[in-house]
Amino acid sequence: MSELVNKSYIYSRKSLLKRVLVVSALIIIGVSFFYSSRLVRQLSKEEKKKVELWAGAIEGRADRLVRAQNLFQELAQVEESKIKLWAKATEILSTSRKSLGSGSLAIEIIENNNTIPLILTDENGGITAHRNVLGVQEVFNLEGEALATANASNSRILDSVLVVMKATGKRIDINYFSNEYNYMYYKDSRILDELRASFNDIHAGFVDDIISMASSTPVIYLRGDSVIASNLISDNVLNDSIKLVVALQSMQSDNDPIVVDLEEGEINSIYYGDSDLLKKLKYYSVVQIGVVMLFVLIGYWLFSIFRRSEQNNVWVGMAKETAHQLGTPLSSLMGWMDVMRMKNVDESMIKEMEKDVDRLTMITDRFSKIGAKPHLEEKNVYESLERFVTYFRTRSPRKVVIELKGMNNEHVVSPINEPLFHWVIENLVKNGIDAMQGKGHILINVSCEADKTVVEVSDTGKGIPYNKRKEVFQPGVTSKARGWGLGLSLSKRIVQDYHNGKIWVKHSELDKGTTFRIELKQLH
């Protein structure tokens, strides 16, 4: 509607300042993000290195554990080979030299075994010899009657040990002669048992070390599908198979699991994920940017509130002062009109003066309402604008046509403050007259849409460039050399703040005209 010149440069400078501030904020954020990201990456590497060292240590201990297990198995195989060798030698010698006494050579060979517990029985299950089976006599070193009693106890002990050996299934059949057999039962040596016990302790210690060394690292230690131990994993996850699978998949996506094969028929797997600190470090940069941006937005919002409050105070003070200054000459004019009536001056002249005085009174009332909450009344918007147009036509240029169209019924009734609302329309009409340079057509159209009363003011003026449409509502933007550029700014505040409505440039085309649209709440 208006050609934006003169004072619009204030807002160009203001926009430039905003851009400079935004660019400065982005540079600060970028520098801060760069250094914080660099620090986060370094900390992440250190944390990752700790986890890798932990995983390497666990793999090393697991490898040693597997070697120990293999060694124990080899020892067991060696002992078993010895027993079979002794049994075979006994069988061969006994067959070829039976005349030397049944089982004498077998006993001689057996006595050369100093580590492996074994018991030799005849076909009927009677114990004929034993070796390395710890009895009562050997424990207490008894003699005499005590020894006789001990021998009876030894017999019961040997019977019990034989039962255990039979249960283990380790037996070698020795064919002494023809169809005659002796049976050799044996078990692992005490040394091997002690080594295996030590291995079990090592294995238990290995599991404990996994948890203690993990510290802040979440760990799940599986044997097959069973959870043996865990660290930093809640019971809800461990007790829920679905959640457990999800947790294992998540850990596997972070780090490859450590596999420990102890050759026991099941594979042991150690799943571990990133520590809580490492996860937080990954999102630290994002959180930092969010916090900084939030701080900037809050700062800008507060700055806008303070700036708007300051503008309101300035405008309210200016409006109050203007109303005060107009009050004194208005009182004088009213007095002079009474004097003119007393001197019988032409009444038509006095009535025209009264109209202008009433107009000035209304303007004074408008300014006095700025800053205070105005009283809204239910008015038919069309009829209210009809009164405004009737008055304004007589005071506008002759070559300007002002036309009012639209609906005139109960659907266009809205709560308005008539003096302030007329002020808005007057500003739009005056701007249109200025844009048309005193020659053209102004159309005011009243309609309703859904629950809104719509007023559109169109002119045939110079139009507004697209990139300047938002600036027309800024204080100080005007095309007039002596204008203050407050009309549209005040109009927007009156519509939005006092009437809870909306006003904006609906359409504008250069050298063809502009249409302003006002929406007010409708009463049903």
Last residue of a domain, which of 191, 211, 227? 191
Tell me if residue 175 falls in helix, strand or coil.
strand
Residue 312: how many other CB atoms lie within 10 Å = 14
All residues at 6 or more sequence positions from 278 whose CB lies less than 8 Å from its CB, including other chains? 44, 47, 48, 51
| Residue 165 within a domain | yes
| Residue 200 within a domain | no
Two tokens at 94? 């006994």
Enclosing domain of residue 123:
77-191
197: exposed, middle or buried (Cβ count in 10 Å: 0-12, 13-18, 19+): exposed
Tell me if residue 455 falls in helix, strand or coil.
strand
Cα distance between residue 278 and residue 218, in whole Å: 12
Residue-by-residue DSSP string for 88-102? HHHHHHHHHTGGG-T
All residues at 6 or more sequence positions from 488 whose CB lies less than 8 Å from its CB, including other chains? 427, 428, 431, 472, 473, 477
Paired strand residues for 135: none
Last residue of a domain, which of 172, 191, 210? 191
| Residue 515 within a domain | yes
Two tokens at 209? 């070390």
| Residue 262 within a domain | no
| Residue 497 within a domain | yes
Strands (E), 382-512: 400-406, 413-416, 440-449, 452-458, 502-509
| Residue 214 within a domain | no
Tell me if residue 435 falls in helix, strand or coil.
helix
H-helix or E-strand containing 422?
A: helix 418-435
What is the pTM for the complete model shown? 0.46
Last residue of a domain, which of 138, 168, 191? 191
DSSP state of 497: I
For every one of its 524 residues, what pLDDT tens digit does the chain have, with 9 covering 90 and above? 444 444 455 556 666 777 777 787 778 777 877 877 777 677 767 766 776 676 677 767 777 777 777 777 787 777 777 767 666 666 665 565 444 444 455 555 556 667 778 888 888 888 877 777 764 334 334 344 444 454 556 777 788 888 888 887 678 787 766 777 788 887 777 777 777 777 777 767 777 777 776 677 788 888 788 888 888 888 899 889 899 999 999 888 878 888 877 655 667 788 888 777 777 777 777 777 787 778 778 877 887 787 777 666 666 666 666 666 677 677 777 888 888 888 887 878 878 788 778 777 777 776 666 666 778 899 999 999 999 998 888 878 889 999 999 988 888 899 998 888 998 999 999 989 988 988 999 999 999 988 899 999 999 999 888 878 878 887 666 665 555 567 788 889 889 988 899 999 999 998 899 999 999 988 65
CA R_g for the chain: 53
| Residue 209 within a domain | no
Residue-by-residue DSSP string for 18-38? HHHHHHHHHHHHHHHHHHHHH
How many domains does one find in the chain? 2
CATH code for position 398: 3.30.565.10
| Residue 29 within a domain | no
